[in-house]
Amino acid sequence: MTATPAPIPAAREAVVGLCRDLVERGLVVGTAGNVSVREGDLVAVSPSGMAYTELVADDVCVHELDGTPVSTPLRTTSELALHSLVHSRPGAEPGEVVLHTHAPASTALSTVADEVPLTHYYSEFFGGAVRVAPYRRFGTDALAEVVLAALQDRSAALMGNHGAILISKTAGAALDRAAYLEYVCDIALRAMATGRPLRTLDPEEIEEVRAGLAGYGQPRPHRGERR
């Protein structure tokens, strides 16, 4: 009898890679945080309480968009409701990545602010000022609902007294955006620690930055190509 192949193997591999990279970048502590990747109408989600350095693709859980289990070799992260709601929000697209981190600066800022101050133009990467969702207990529908509200027209939010969450179209971009989010939060924290008034940017300036950053970056030239 032939075993049924595990569904969405590419998405499960992507979850493993993201989890390991989050550890390497210092964006999670221990087994904290969680990752999901949507493929079609299925979502690959990291399991609960599993050391990321030991995680393999066969450990990654798969659920339908509404949270119904499809393949759960281990217990799924306690934040399944959060990932399910974000992946099924209006405008969500197949292939999207959701990262939930417990990085130090973003977590610390989530305890003292209602919104990340616009102290740096990198806030544009997230659609504008990053909101802080009010605290709700981890793993609850209530947490998922307030976080989704904070993500309205944004690709990132802080979770009050908890951590951060962001949405990206690709795995590579997700890791870069997670690093930028932590940087923006760190800058804001350091500025606030001086006790001096913050010089913040106007939302209109963020819009101008968006236009300026459109298409930013370039491919590496092929060997033999003139630079």
Taking 90 as the threshold, does the pLDDT of residue 223 lie above it? no
Mean pLDDT within 23-45: 92
> What are the structural domain ranges in the chain?
9-213
Model confidence at 190, pLDDT cuts 50, 70, 90, reads very high
* pLDDT the model gives residue 226: 47
* pLDDT the model gives residue 201: 94
- The residue written with tokens 């390497």 in the block is 24
- The residue written with tokens 């981190």 in the block is 101
Closest by CA position to 89, among listed 137, 14, 145: 145
CB-based burial, 11-42: b 16+ in 10 Å, e otherwise? bbbbbbbbbebbbeeebbeebbbbbbbbbeeb
* pLDDT the model gives residue 224: 57
Residue 190: partners with Cβ closer than 8 Å, 6 or more residues away = none
* pLDDT the model gives residue 209: 86
In terms of pLDDT, which residue wins out, 225 or 76?
Answer: 76
Model confidence at 212, pLDDT cuts 50, 70, 90, reads confident
What is the spatial distance between Cα 205 and Cα 213, in angstroms, rounded to a whole number? 12
Which run of H or of E encompasses 159? Answer: strand 156-159
* pLDDT the model gives residue 114: 97
When the pLDDT of each residue in the chain is averaged and rounded to a whole number, the result is: 91
Model confidence at 172, pLDDT cuts 50, 70, 90, reads confident
The structure's pTM equals 0.90
Mean pLDDT within 48-65: 94
What is the spatial distance between Cα 57 and Cα 215, in angstroms, rounded to a whole number? 34
Specify the CATH architecture of the domain 9-213. Answer: 3-Layer(aba) Sandwich (3.40)
Taking 80 as the threshold, does the pLDDT of residue 225 lie above it? no
Task: Report pLDDT digits (tens) over 106-142.
Answer: 999 999 999 999 999 999 999 999 999 999 999 999 9
Taking 50 as the threshold, does the pLDDT of residue 159 lie above it? yes
Taking 70 as the threshold, does the pLDDT of residue 217 lie above it? no
